[in-house]
Structure 1
Amino acid sequence: MSAHLQKWQAEHANYRKLLDLLQTQTATFVHGEEPDYELMADIVYYMTQYPDRYHHPREDAAFSRLLAHDPQAGTLIAELAEEHRSIAESGARLAADLGAAAAGAMMPRATLQEDVRNYATFLDDHMAIEEREIFPRLAASLGDDEWFLVDSAIHFAGDPIFGETVQERFRSIHRRISGQAGCGCKEPAEAACCLE
């Protein structure tokens, strides 16, 4: 498997960690407790700022290169590209709702809980389809020259949580995930951190 696909699978694994943390926070509703709305808002903000702006567009660029090799994948590729747009729209709505909740706005808990569950389930299902159906086709079809063109099509930005440098806004998310993973890292800068 190409280094690109390995990186994308690692990114998917990171996104799943965030979705799990998001759902863990909404589960506090069931017990009548107050979730950490700020943490939830930061997670969704990240999802709308990094995956929606960099990860999904890189996938779309690779998917369009795949069409030249595998025209039969056209319908699936079109569906996945449409899902990328739907994920971005859904994430933007959820970010607005969580931002409002963090600011103290009143909204039904059941609505917010269902919105989070739907977002997380949809995104997880989407990633599973990509990994199962498209990634093997990309691995079999795209050569180094085409991967170079994919890389050139989308401006690169370092991941603000899982990259070399964790942005200040996301340090609490990093600490929460590393705590759940049990890797023992206390600060994002630790070289041995399992999230790096």
Structure 2
Amino acid sequence: MPAHITKWKTEHANYRKLLDLLETRTELFARGEQPDYELMSDVVYYLTQYPDRFHHPREDVAFGTLLAYDPSARDVVDELAGQHRQIEASGATLAADLAAAAAGTMMSRATIIDDVCRYVAFLRDHMDKEEREIFPRLGAALQKKDWFLVDSAIHLSADPLFGDTVQARFRGIQRQIADQAGCGCADLTEKACCLE
């Protein structure tokens, strides 16, 4: 399996941890507990700033490259590229709703809960479809030169949460993930959690 596919699967696993955290916080909120809008906003901010700006565009380049080798992949490539745009739009809506709620705007619990549930379910289904239907085709078709072009097309920025150094804004998320997993990394301040 090419290193790029392995990396993308690892990134998907990290995104699932964030979706689990978002879902857990939303379940508490649905039971009437005080929402942690800051934590939820930070999770959504990360998902709209890192995957939407770096992960998905790199996948789109690889998917487009695949079509030269496997034109029969056109339908799934078009569907997944369209889903990337939907994920970005629904993430922006969710981020705006959470920011408004945190600022004190009157908003029903049901609106936020529905937004989170839709976003989480859609992103999970999307990643599952990529891993099931397109990653094997990419692994079989793309050559070293193709992966070089994927790397060259989108400048990659360091991951601010799951990279070597966790940005200050994301340390709370890291601690929450570590707490949920019971991995013992909850007190780290500079290094990334061992869960990566």
* TM-based fold match above 0.5: yes
Shift in Å, 1:29: 2.5
Write the distance in 2 (CA, Å) between the matches of 1:34 and 1:14: 26
One-letter amino acid of the structure 1 residue matched with residue 104 of structure 2: G
Give the TM-score normalised by the residue count of structure 2. 0.97
Kept in 1: contact 2:44–2:94 (CA 8 A): yes
Equivalence map 1:61-80=2 (5 Å) = 61-80=61-80
Write the distance in 1 (CA, Å) between the matches of 2:191 and 2:126: 32
Supply the RMSD in Å over aligned alpha carbons. 1.1
One-letter amino acid of the structure 2 residue matched with residue 159 of structure 1: D
Could you say which residue in structure 2 is the equivalent of 1:23?
A: 23
Could you say which residue in structure 1 is the equivalent of 2:56?
A: 56
How many residue pairs get aligned? The number is: 195
Q: Secondary structure at the match of 2:29?
A: coil
Equivalence map 1:155-174=2 (5 Å) = 155-174=155-174
Q: Which moved more, 1:26-35 or 1:155-164?
A: 26-35
Kept in 1: contact 2:80–2:126 (CA 8 A): yes
CA deviations over 1:110-160 (Å, ceiling 9, x no partner): 111011000000000000000000000000001111000000000110111
Write the distance in 1 (CA, Å) between the matches of 2:104 and 2:22: 18
Q: Secondary structure at the match of 2:30?
A: coil
Give the TM-score normalised by the residue count of structure 1. 0.97
Write the distance in 1 (CA, Å) between the matches of 2:191 and 2:49: 24
One-letter amino acid of the structure 2 residue matched with residue 8 of structure 1: W
Write the distance in 2 (CA, Å) between the matches of 1:127 and 1:76: 13
Equivalence map 1:8-157=2 (5 Å) = 8-157=8-157
Write the distance in 1 (CA, Å) between the matches of 2:30 and 2:119: 18
Write the distance in 1 (CA, Å) between the matches of 2:152 and 2:126: 25
Kept in 1: contact 2:57–2:154 (CA 8 A): yes
One-letter amino acid of the structure 1 residue matched with residue 37 of structure 2: Y
Deviating 4+ runs (over 2 angstroms): 188-191
Write the distance in 1 (CA, Å) between the matches of 2:29 and 2:190: 33
- What are structure 1's unaligned runs of at least 5 residues? none
Write the distance in 2 (CA, Å) between the matches of 1:55 and 1:118: 21
Shift in Å, 1:7: 0.4
Q: Secondary structure at the match of 1:156?
A: coil
Kept in 1: contact 2:166–2:191 (CA 8 A): no
Kept in 2: contact 1:174–1:188 (CA 8 A): no
Write the distance in 1 (CA, Å) between the matches of 2:31 and 2:78: 41
- What are structure 2's unaligned runs of at least 5 residues? none
Write the distance in 1 (CA, Å) between the matches of 2:165 and 2:175: 14
**Counterpart check, 1:189 vs 2:190:** yes
Kept in 1: contact 2:25–2:36 (CA 8 A): yes
Kept in 1: contact 2:62–2:138 (CA 8 A): yes
